[in-house]
Structure 1
Amino acid sequence: MIKWILILLVVAAVASLLGYHTLAGAAATGARILIGIVLVIFLLVLFGLFAVT
């Protein structure tokens, strides 16, 4: 999933440089959503590990 976040951030940067601001915004929004999902999963795993030990 981290790979997709990096791809979307690169697409957003290139689209912004080329003047495709709508595409850049969509790619950045997709990256933000994936970052949020990754953070939630990380916190669930982190708290799960604390609960086990």
Structure 2
Amino acid sequence: MLVCRVLDEGWPLSQACRQFGVTRPTGRKWVQRALSEGILGMRELSRAPKLVPRRTPH
């Protein structure tokens, strides 16, 4: 995993991103998330909108 290579093995972020085929901003986001939230922060998050502005009541 990219985060393990960077944090545990000391790989440069740019090298790890190239190896895993992701952009540096994405790699940076993953590393920062792992640092701030730990392993649970690495789970896939929903991309669904949190608020639907014109939703009709049931």
TM-score by length of 2: 0.34
Which of 1 and 2 has higher RCO (CA within 8 Å, sep 6+)?
1
Identify the structure with the greater helix proportion. 1
TM-score by length of 1: 0.36
- Which structure has the larger Rg? 2
